[in-house]
Amino acid sequence: MSATTSTSRLSPPAAILRHAVLLATGALILVPFVWMASLSVKPPGEIFRASFSFWPAQFYGVENYTKAMTEVPLPRYMGNGLVVCVLILGVQILVCAPCAYALAKLHFLGRDLLFGLVLVGLLLPHQVLSLPLFILGYQLGILNTYAALVFPYVVSPFGIFLFRQFFKTIPDDVVHAARLDGLSEIAIVWKIMVPMALPAVVAFSIFSVVSHWNDLFWPLIAVRDQSLMPPPLGIMAFKNEEAGNDYGPLMAASTLVVLPLLIAFLAAQKWFVEGLTGGAVK
């Protein structure tokens, strides 16, 4: 089933050239990661002596990583990121799946209008909404709390859209059979549709968690307390405190922030690629 650009096999020189170029571009892509990891295990003296060597003469990893974990509340930042991502994802699925089911399988007046709303929501860049959302958060008195980090994202137009597309591929007979078995509509959503749409749920979960773990814009607006900062905001605060004097611990902290998603990505590459580009490729 693999339709490829070339039907015939590459000649040996061409194959070698292919590997050479891809290895070179790949190496260039990885330079920032490698440099970050390298500085994170070097002592200050070696960092400022400026050498090409990847591995330090004196291994300083323990000191740097300990400093990154203790001098700033990095574990707290990571915990905040986890709490916020899990809360957002949970609420998004809870809100989006039933709506997607109604759009995909039920007939009702206003369905096209509702789907139109979802599509318009899909094209609105979230940053444009930040000012009114900030005012809303202020009026509700929830700025500078976890709620402030979560509330703009409780509904995801992309989630509704993705689930609807997937639910539509499930045969109507499945729904009819479930109704004959006496399942209520809401039970059909959670007991039939969502389990059958597991690939869409996984893809959406990856999309949601990656977006919100990495987001800097909204947390910058929504919270001020260090104890509430998610990783990107926390690490930016760390950098501003350090003012570039203590590279080792700063690089250790950056490495730790990037690491969870990196490991997850390497473990489930195919799912990540699908989840993060699904909106475009589906």
Partner 1 sequence: MSAPLSLSDTSEEESATRGVRISSAASPARRRALAEALAAWTLAGPAVFFLLVLFFLPVLGVFVIALTDWQFGARSLSFIGLANFRQVFADAVFRASLLNTVVYVLIVVPGTVILALLIALLIESGKSCRSFYRAVHFLPFMATLTAMAIAWEALLHPTIGLVNQALAGLGLPTANWLRDENTALPVLAVIGIWQNLGYAMVLFLAGLKGIPQDLYDAADVDGADLWLDRLRTVTLPMLGPVSMFVVIVVALRAFESFDTVKVLTQGGPGHASEVLLYTLYRESFEYLRTGYGAAVAVVFLAIVVTLTLVQVRFMDRKVHYQ
> What part of residues 156-195 is at the interface with partner 1 (CB under 8 A)?
157, 160-161, 168, 185-186, 189
Closest distance between partner 1 and the C-beta of residue 38, in Å? 9
Amino acid identity of residue 23, one-letter, is L
Binding of partner 1 at residue 267 (CB under 8 A)? no
Give, as ranges, the residues between 38 and 57 that touch partner 1 (CB under 8 A): 39, 47-48, 50, 52
* Buried/exposed 224-258: b ≥16 CB within 10 Å, e otherwise: eeeebbbbbbbbeebeeeeeeebbbbbbbbbbbbb
Task: Pick from 57, 124, 177, 198 the residue near partner 1 by CB under 8 A.
Answer: 124
Stretch that binds partner 1, among 33-41, 62-70, 142-150, 194-202 (CB under 8 A): 33-41
* The length of the chain, given as a count of residues: 282
Cβ density class 164-186: b for 16+ within 10 Å, e for less: bbbbeebeeeebeebeeeebeee
Q: List binders of partner 1 among 200-259 (CB under 8 A).
A: 210, 213-214, 216-217, 220-221, 231-233, 235-236, 239, 244, 247, 250-251, 253-255, 257-258
Q: Which of 57, 111, 141, 199 touches partner 1 by CB under 8 A?
A: 111
Options 142, 143, 147, 155; binder of partner 1; rule CB under 8 A: 155
Name the residue with tokens 């990505």: 265
- Residues 119, 15: Cα–Cα separation, whole Å: 44
Binding region for partner 1 (CB under 8 A) out of 56-64, 141-149, 196-204, 263-271: 263-271
What's the CA gap between 275 and 282, in Å, rounded?
Answer: 10
